[in-house]
């Protein structure tokens, strides 16, 4: 079978299952006796094992198989989750993530996991710790006791009565023991095929383990059935042996005498009931075609409803976005032509097309949007590991994970957030001793939250640690030559905190493998600003700090103010504009060679775009009045002098290409309705 066509699906689903297992492990640490969490993990591990075996990634399949064995003992109450078990399973998950990452990079997914497998086996056989664990690690099949030797103990009183009446009316009854080969990877599928074969011979009235457990692969290569049939034992046995990977099929007729003790519950029947107790939760494995078919064949259940979602390759979404962008340009062009021709039916058609394309734009934009949850999900495990390595106690509280952002932005914010969170845990949260001494709880808290505000998304990382010491930051900044002492004394607290983002700045006395407050924060600032966002810091000494990131909702289609400079047109992103105004020549003053003007009880600089871009046919200096666009970057404001305001317009961002990637104060270009190219201004570069 050619598995290449399924590789992308395997990678996506493997990541989902690994993320789910990581999340469940973190939850299990807080509630080690919650068997439902273990059930969820078992199902994820089982599904991953089946997928990897089908795709031929044997190392992944073998490691998840050993994880299954451990989890099976835990969920059946035969093993307690201890520190050693937690660490070993976490190591297993790390190894699985590394193998999947290798597959993504074009590798084979092979890895030497023998030491982890050995550790998992030691947990199963109890040799890693107390000898008493050996008893706990006994195979679950033993709990069924003598159910493999006779029909007694398999049936309850009602089932025995039904079987006895059937025998009296001339029907035949059989006790069937099916053993599947130990090297069979997808034993649940083989079990389904056995049930399917038996459905042609009669009715199954009892199964140990239960059909639900068999369907979900919760059995140990052997199961026992009691069925009614009009066929001979040899026919039934031959049908079962016709299924591949069946080691043995034992079909024994049941006589009325065999039912005498069946109605009396025994220890064996109680144990069998415990092993086969169904779990009332949907299993990922049940979404496979075999499992869906197994339910009605074996237990009379209806198949689950079909999923209403599909996976779409990212490149297809990018192509769709590019095609829509071109259509948007043509729509603007058509609107311009229709207004020139002034033909009513043409104008009406173009207006209708505009409404339809606006709706289409909304759909396309939603397709590109994805929740930040895909990035946030990986942080609980990271915070746990960092805190543990530092000997600290830290809780990560995530809110707003369903907040949606453009896929391009989501892909890029992961690394900046890693820096911020590692800094919060390493340099923000105090040690347990320091927190107790300060009258705080032993466990520190880091809040990671996301929320919408206007056309922006805000992501905040806030800790309840010791806060940022202004004096220490300023002292290091002066020492590194970032600011002078005079400049520092005049700076606000927020301005001092922003010095943390200066290149190479660090307040760490000892550079660790985690980070010092400031290490990597220059990277954070650069990355966020490259996405059209900005970052700010607030802090209270002794109480904690908050890093806030503001990001645009999308980077593909934005609203912009179109302006004119002589014969040239430029676009200014609406998200950075505060307002527009008309400035008279006499209101402009010259301060140390810089043109300034009064704006809302402050003095702000006036930037001459005509000089900046060397526009040949326009200069605002000769004008009595000039149009000014007020733009903001953080808490800084500037005015951009322009010739004329054209108006607001949706524009499609186009990259300038690798040959024009260093044009100052230009972030890209757009094609206008009349076919002209207009440069998009980067207002962040204009305000320094």
Question: Looking at 89-103, 263-277, 299-313, which range is the least confident one?
Answer: 263-277
Residue 107 in this model has a pLDDT that exceeds 60: yes
Give one DSSP letter per residue of 644-660, joined into a string.
Answer: EEEEEEEEE-B---GGG
**Mean pLDDT across the stretch 420-438?**
90
CA angle 138, 143, 147 (to 5 degrees): 135
**Mean pLDDT across the stretch 116-123?**
86
Residue 484: phi and psi, rounded to 5, are: -90, 165
Question: Looking at 51-55, 144-148, 478-482, 574-578, which range is the least confident one?
Answer: 144-148
pLDDT-derived band at 629, boundaries 50, 70, 90 = very high
Quote the percentage of the chain above a pLDDT of 90: 12
Question: Looking at 179-183, 397-401, 515-519, which range is the least confident one?
Answer: 515-519
pLDDT of residue 567: 86
CA dihedral 212, 216, 218, 221 (to 10 degrees): 100
Residue 183: phi and psi, rounded to 5, are: -85, 5
**Is 419 annotated as catalytic?**
no
443-474 tens-digit pLDDT: 999 999 998 876 678 899 999 999 988 888 88
pLDDT-derived band at 522, boundaries 50, 70, 90 = confident
Q: Which residues contact 424 (CB under 8 A, 6 or more apart)?
A: 446, 461, 463, 465, 545, 547
pLDDT of residue 269: 36
Residue 104 in this model has a pLDDT that exceeds 70: yes
**Is 423 annotated as catalytic?**
yes
pLDDT of residue 123: 86
- Rg from Cα positions in the chain: 34
pLDDT of residue 571: 92
Q: Which residues of 431-460 are buried (b: 16+ CB within 10 A; e: fewer)?
A: ebeebeeeebeeebbbbbbbeeeeebbbbb
Contact 470, 493 (CB under 8 A): yes
pLDDT of residue 296: 35
**Is 46 annotated as catalytic?**
yes
**Mean pLDDT across the stretch 142-160?**
54
Residue 517 in this model has a pLDDT that exceeds 50: no
Please identify which of the residues 22, 69, 423, 684 carries the catalytic annotation: 423
Please identify which of the residues 22, 24, 46, 568 carries the catalytic annotation: 46
Please identify which of the residues 66, 68, 215, 430 carries the catalytic annotation: 68
pLDDT of residue 283: 33
**Closest-CA residue to 257 (of 173, 317, 198):** 173
CA–CA distance, 349 with 340 (Å, rounded to integer): 15
Question: Looking at 273-287, 368-382, 394-408, 553-567, which range is the least confident one?
Answer: 273-287
Residue 275: phi and psi, rounded to 5, are: -65, -40
pLDDT of residue 399: 92
H-assigned helices in 439-541: 470-479, 485-490, 493-497, 521-530
Contact 177, 222 (CB under 8 A): yes
284-320 tens-digit pLDDT: 333 333 333 333 333 333 334 444 567 677 778 778 8
Most confident of 153-162, 262-271, 407-416: 407-416
């Amino acid at each position: 079978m050619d598995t290449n066509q399924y590789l992308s699906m395997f990678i996506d689903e493997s990541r989902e299952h690994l993320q789910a297992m990581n999340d469940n492990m973190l939850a299990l640490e807080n509630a080690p006796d919650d068997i439902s969490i273990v059930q969820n993990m078992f199902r994820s591990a089982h599904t991953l094992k089946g997928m990897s075996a089908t795709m031929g990634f044997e190392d992944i399949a073998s490691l998840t198989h050993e994880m299954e064995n451990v989890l099976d003992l835990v969920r059946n109450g035969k093993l307690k989750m201890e520190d050693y078990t937690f660490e070993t399973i976490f190591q297993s998950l790390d190894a699985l993530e590394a193998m999947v990452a290798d597959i993504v990079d074009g590798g084979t997914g092979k890895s030497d996991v023998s030491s982890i497998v050995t550790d998992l086996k030691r947990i199963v056989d109890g040799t890693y710790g107390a000898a008493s664990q050996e008893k706990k690690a006994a195979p679950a099949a033993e709990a069924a006791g003598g159910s493999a030797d006779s029909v007694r103990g398999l049936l309850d009183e009602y089932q025995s009565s039904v079987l006895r009446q059937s025998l009296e009316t001339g029907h035949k009854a059989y006790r069937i023991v099916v053993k599947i080969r130990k090297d069979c990877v997808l034993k649940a599928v083989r079990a389904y095929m056995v049930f399917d074969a038996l459905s042609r011979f009669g009715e199954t009235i009892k199964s140990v383990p239960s059909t639900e457990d068999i369907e979900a692969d919760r059995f140990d290569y052997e199961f026992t059935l009691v069925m009614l049939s009009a066929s001979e034992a040899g026919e039934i046995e031959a049908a079962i042996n016709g299924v591949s990977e069946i080691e043995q099929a034992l079909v024994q007729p049941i006589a009325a005498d065999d039912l005498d003790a069946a109605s009396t519950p025994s220890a064996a029947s109680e144990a069998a009931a415990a092993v086969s107790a169904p779990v009332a939760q949907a299993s990922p494995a049940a979404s496979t075609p075999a499992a869906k078919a197994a339910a009605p064949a074996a237990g009379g259940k209806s198949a689950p409803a079909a999923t209403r979602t599909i996976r779409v390759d990212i490149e297809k979404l990018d192509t769709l976005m590019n095609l829509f962008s071109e259509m948007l340009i043509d729509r603007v062009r058509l609107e311009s032509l229709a207004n020139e021709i002034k033909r009513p039916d043409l104008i009406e058609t173009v207006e209708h097309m505009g409404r339809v394309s606006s709706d289409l734009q909304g759909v396309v934009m939603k397709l590109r949007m994805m929740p930040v949850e895909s990035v946030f999900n990986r942080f609980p495990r990271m915070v746990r590991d960092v805190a543990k390595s530092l000997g600290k106690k830290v809780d990560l509280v995530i809110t707003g994970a369903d907040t949606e952002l453009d896929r391009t932005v989501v892909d890029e914010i992961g690394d900046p957030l890693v820096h911020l969170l590692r800094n919060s845990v390493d340099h923000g949260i105090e040690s347990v001793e320091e927190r107790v001494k300060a009258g705080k709880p032993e466990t520190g808290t880091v809040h990671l939250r996301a929320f919408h505000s206007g056309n922006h998304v805000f992501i905040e990382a806030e800790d309840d640690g010791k806060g940022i010491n202004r004096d220490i930051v300023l002292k290091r900044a002066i020492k590194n030559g970032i600011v002078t002492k005079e400049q520092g004394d005049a700076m606000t607290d927020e301005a001092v905190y922003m010095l943390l983002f200066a290149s190479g700045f660090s307040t760490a006395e000892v550079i660790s493998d985690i980070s010092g407050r400031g290490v990597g924060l220059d990277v954070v600032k650069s990355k966020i600003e490259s996405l059209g966002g900005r970052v700010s810091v607030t802090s209270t000494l002794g109480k904690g700090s908050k890093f806030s990131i503001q990001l645009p909702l999308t980077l593909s289609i934005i609203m912009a103010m179109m302006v004119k400079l002589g014969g040239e047109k430029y676009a200014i992103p609406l998200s950075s504009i505060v307002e527009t105004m008309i400035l008279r020549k006499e209101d402009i003053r010259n301060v140390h060679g810089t043109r300034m003007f009064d704006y809302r009880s402050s003095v702000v600089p006036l930037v001459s775009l005509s000089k900046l871009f060397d526009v040949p046919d326009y200069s605002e200096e000769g004008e009595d009045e000039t149009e000014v666009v007020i733009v903001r970057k953080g808490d800084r404001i500037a005015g951009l002098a322009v010739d004329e305001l054209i108006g607001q317009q949706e524009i499609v961002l186009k990259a300038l290409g690798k040959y024009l990637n260093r044009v100052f104060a230009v972030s890209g270009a757009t094609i206008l309705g009349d076919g002209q190219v207009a440069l998009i201004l980067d207002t962040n570069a204009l305000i320094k």
